[in-house]
Amino acid sequence: MTDHGQENAQRFADAGRPAIIRIEAVNKWFDDFHVLKDIDLTVGAGEKVVVCGPSGSGKSTLIRCINRLESHEQGLIEVDGIELTDDNKRISEIRSEVGMVFQQFNLFPHLTVLENCTLGPIRARGLSKTDARALAMEFLEKVRIPEQADKYPSQLSGGQQQRVAIARSLCMRPKIMLFDEPTSALDPEMINEVLDVMTELAESGMTMLCVTHEMGFARRVADTMVFMDHGEIVEMASPETFFSTPKSDRCKDFLEKILHH
Amino acid sequence: MSDSATNSGHPGPGATAPPTTKPAQLWWKSTWFDIVQFVALGGLLVWLTGRGMAAMDYRWQWYRLPRAFYRVIDGELIWGPLIDGLLVTLEIAAWGMVLTLVIGLVTAVLRLSDSIAGRILAKVYLETIRNTPLLVQVSIFYFVLQPILGINNPLWTGILCLAFFEGSFASEIIRAGINSVSRGQWEASATVGLNRLQAYRYVVLPQAVPLMLPPLTGILVNLIKHSAILSFVAVFELTTEARNLIADTFLSFEVWFVVGGMYLVMTISLSSLVALLERRIRARG
Amino acid sequence: MVRGSKKPRFGILDVIVLAAAIAAVAYVTYRVDSVLVYTWDWSAIPGYLFRYDEDLGHWVPNLLIKGLITTIRISIWALIVASIMGTILGVMRTSQRLLPRLIGWAYVEFIRNIPPVPFLFLFYFFISSQIIPLLNIGSALDQASPATLGVVEFLFGPANLIENFLSGLISLSMMSAAYIAEIVRAGILAVPKGQYEAGSSIGLSKLAIMRYIVLPQAIQRVVPPIAGQFITLIKDSSLVALISIQELSFLAMEIAISEQRFFEVWLFTGLMYFTICYACALAFGRLEKRMGRHLR
Ligand SMILES: Nc1ncnc2c1ncn2[C@@H]1O[C@H](COP(=O)(O)OP(=O)(O)OP(=O)(O)O)[C@@H](O)[C@H]1O
Ligand SMILES: [Mg+2]
């Protein structure tokens, strides 16, 4: 068993929550490039996991495998008891249970904010227009921009766009939310409005997997920190241990760079 | 929870993991399988055409075709009409290209200049060419300008007309090439004391010309393609010769297939050159 | 010193250009008046636009206007047919599988490299002798009621020329489809990858992503250049004059010969094409500005 595999199992036994994501011995290649190497990671319901690591270490690839935007070639990924395979029907089932927020927002530019939020509920969930609208307004209020509902994404600031993207995902009523560097494309003054929304979401008990370098947010919110480098999970620990006594040199270096600049 | 049994097959820390190898791809998802299907499809198309032709009682007489290329009379080699036509087409393309470049360059210079009359002239020329059919341009050149200007060879009327037509595209290409060199390059040239002409000569053109080369070669392809329209007036290029040959021999399909093939060989080889040039330039960044 | 950014002003280049223009006009005038001793006579032209029909008792379009209508009619039809074909081919060219990409690529490259004129002759010959007879249009029209015939004539032109019209239409559409395929392909490729990912992350199927996310955005990008393709079609449709389809260029050719007025007829025909195409270009320019405002 790998180093982090043991930790993983141990940590999990302690917390005593039911597993909602199980990743076991996952390997993935881009052509000949081995991006994910023997990844083991289990996430419990309601757990908040923050993933960090240097650029190119495979963080995005890992979380994109969880809703199968990328497919893995070896190993097992199970989300809410459903194993991810080539079976198409199951994939859309999983995708509507797993919300995802992208670094570049990826809002639909030809649709209004409200239409961005109702598209999934109407077309994938089969909700009526009125129900979808009510649902969308509920979540737009949660992210504090109900007044922008009829604008187009290009008329909003970056922070507002990212909050719409979060609302859009929440409208699918996901059990799990994945965040891929949600604040890296934002101007500094807008980062906090997005982190605040994410913190509230965490407090409401959502299972979250965040790739982020916002270490303040990580300390506040994370149950578990994961450090990746060169496609491997190098360290996995609670935030306290992770920040105070990182074990590997790679992790120490990384934290030094990111915390003292 | 993730029971350790699942993970126990993996080596412990420290031991280097055995190079886990990537699983092989399914054969029916492979590139090769698609290529095979594509070739099969092409074969099917050819077969269907062949059957269609057989059904229509068309009498293939391929054996009569070599005479369209050459004949040997009294031990002397005489080129047939298709070769004559091909040579005329190539002549049109070659001279057309030279004139196109001249017209394109002059127009681009006028458009980039600060001269009012120059810009207006260029604009009128471009809009006229862009908003009328080539066929009408050919007719005007042949029926109107040829007598007025007293040109006595329709071939030259045709070349001139095509050059004016393609020149409008060439001027766009040249202008775009020059404009693609950033403003900073001009400013930098000024700061090192170059005048406008020197800036063109030593800084701008060396950067712009490589960008222009592929689309300008594309114009040569167009010249070959569009020269076929001159069969409308009395220019004896490849298409005209083909039509005359068909009128004489009734070998419609044989002749059109062969002539189409001749054009394709010329244009596709040039198009490939364009693609190659583009790739080179992109690779250089 | 910076290119093109200067205000236009009157300079030495203007003198040269004006001198050249004046010299050209003078030379042409000299040649026409003194060498060819040509007398211009435009009087026949209006009669070919409209003529007074004694039986009907009102003005009816004559050859040039009829030709123009045929030109516009064939261009609109070709645009419709080519848009459908082009969209399918364009989508194929962006497919993840190699096979549809190869098929689309082969079609586009073939059309782009074959000269239109031999292509027209070959396909016209093939289509009109092989495919059109299969459709049995002639006998179908013989049995049609006057009302149906009226509709058909409005859509496709005079009944006796319909087969000929269709042959030209198919050939023209096949050529145009290759260019529209390229436009559609570029439109689809311009939709960022993130849009597909965002679509699948909210659980939409591949089809729904195409239908609600990619195509609406692609269409906003694609409509202006496809509108431009209409202008190209009006111009290219003149080529079908070579296969005796009675559109504007063909009729102009006939009038020029019967009247022996080559100068006037061809210049006027050029002007007619120019007016239509230029007006379309101006209108489409507006359209382009209005579309795709929300796309970054
Ligand atoms: N579609 C792809 N094809 C080929 N290589 C890819 C692809 N996507 C990612 N990679 C490569 O895989 C490696 C891991 O990428 P990934 O995006 O997961 O890194 P990351 O940890 O998210 O980095 P960053 O902090 O820059 O986002 C990188 O080296 C990247 O170049
Ligand atoms: Mg990333």
Whether residue B13 is predicted with pLDDT greater than 60 in this model: the reply is no
Lowest mean pLDDT among A235-244, B234-243, C160-169: C160-169
Q: Indicate if ligand 1 lies below 6 Å from the C-beta of A61.
A: yes
Can you read off the two tokens belonging to residue B107? 């127009």
Q: Where are the alpha helices (DSSP H) in C114-261?
A: 116-126, 132-135, 137-143, 146-156, 162-189, 193-201, 206-208, 215-236, 248-259
pLDDT at residue B59, as a whole number? 79
Number of cross-chain residue pairs from A and B with Cβ atoms under 8 Å apart: 55
Output the average pLDDT for chain B: 87
Which has more pLDDT, C289 or A33?
A33
pLDDT at residue B220, as a whole number? 95
Residues in CB range of A93: below 8 A, 6 or more apart: A82, C203
pLDDT band of A141, cuts 50, 70, 90: very high
Give, in order, the Cα–Cα distances in Å from A20 to each of A167, A228, C5: 22, 21, 62
* Facing residue for C1 by CB, picked from B135, B186, B228: B186
Mean pLDDT value of segment C150-160: 83
| Residue indicated by tokens 């490259």 | C109
pLDDT band of B16, cuts 50, 70, 90: very low
SS3 content of chain B, % helix, strand, coil (to 5): 75, 5, 20
> How many CB atoms sit inside 10 A of residue B241's CB?
23
Residues in C 209-238 with any Cβ partner in A closer than 8 A: 212-213, 216-217, 220
Which has more pLDDT, B3 or A177?
A177
Tell me the sheet residues that pair with A211: A51, A180
Q: Indicate if ligand 1 lies below 6 Å from the C-beta of A28.
A: no
Q: Over the stretch A168-221, which tens digit does the pLDDT of each residue have?
A: 999 999 999 999 999 999 999 999 999 999 999 999 999 999 999 999 999 999
pLDDT at residue A166, as a whole number? 96
Residue C245, amino acid: I
Q: What is the pTM of this model?
A: 0.82
Which chains neighbour C (Cβ–Cβ under 8 Å, 3 or more pairs)?
Answer: A, B
Mean pLDDT value of segment B38-48: 91
* Nearest chain B CA: its distance from C211 CA (Å): 26
| Residue indicated by tokens 């009675």 | C246
Whether residue B93 is predicted with pLDDT greater than 60 in this model: the reply is yes
pLDDT at residue C226, as a whole number? 92
Q: Over the stretch A219-250, which tens digit does the pLDDT of each residue have?
A: 999 999 999 999 999 999 999 999 999 999 99
Strands A48-52 and A207-211: parallel
Whether residue B7 is predicted with pLDDT greater than 50 in this model: the reply is no
CA angle C172, C177, C181 (to 5 degrees): 165
Output the average pLDDT for chain C: 88
Q: Best residue in A1, A8, A41 to probe B by mutation, most B CBs within 10 Å?
A: A1
pLDDT band of A2, cuts 50, 70, 90: low
> How many CB atoms sit inside 10 A of residue C280's CB?
17
Look at A19 and B1 and tell me if their CB atoms are within 8 Å: yes
Top mean-pLDDT range of B23-27, C122-126, C255-259: C255-259
Whole-number Å distance between alpha carbons of B163 and B161? 5
Q: Over the stretch A79-128, which tens digit does the pLDDT of each residue have?
A: 988 888 877 677 878 888 899 999 999 999 999 999 999 999 999 889 99
CATH code of C60-295, in short, is: 1.10.3720.10
Can you read off the two tokens belonging to residue B234? 């009395």
SS3 B239: helix
Q: Over the stretch C100-110, which tens digit does the pLDDT of each residue have?
A: 999 999 999 99
Number of cross-chain residue pairs from B and C with Cβ atoms under 8 Å apart: 180
Looking at the CA of A56, which ligand is closest?
Answer: 1
Q: How far is the CA of A72 from the centre of ligand 1 (A)?
A: 14
Q: Over the stretch C54-110, which tens digit does the pLDDT of each residue have?
A: 888 888 888 999 999 999 999 999 999 999 999 999 999 998 889 999 999 999 999
pLDDT at residue A11, as a whole number? 62
pLDDT band of A10, cuts 50, 70, 90: low
Mean pLDDT value of segment B9-13: 41
Q: How far is the CA of A58 from the centre of ligand 1 (A)?
A: 6
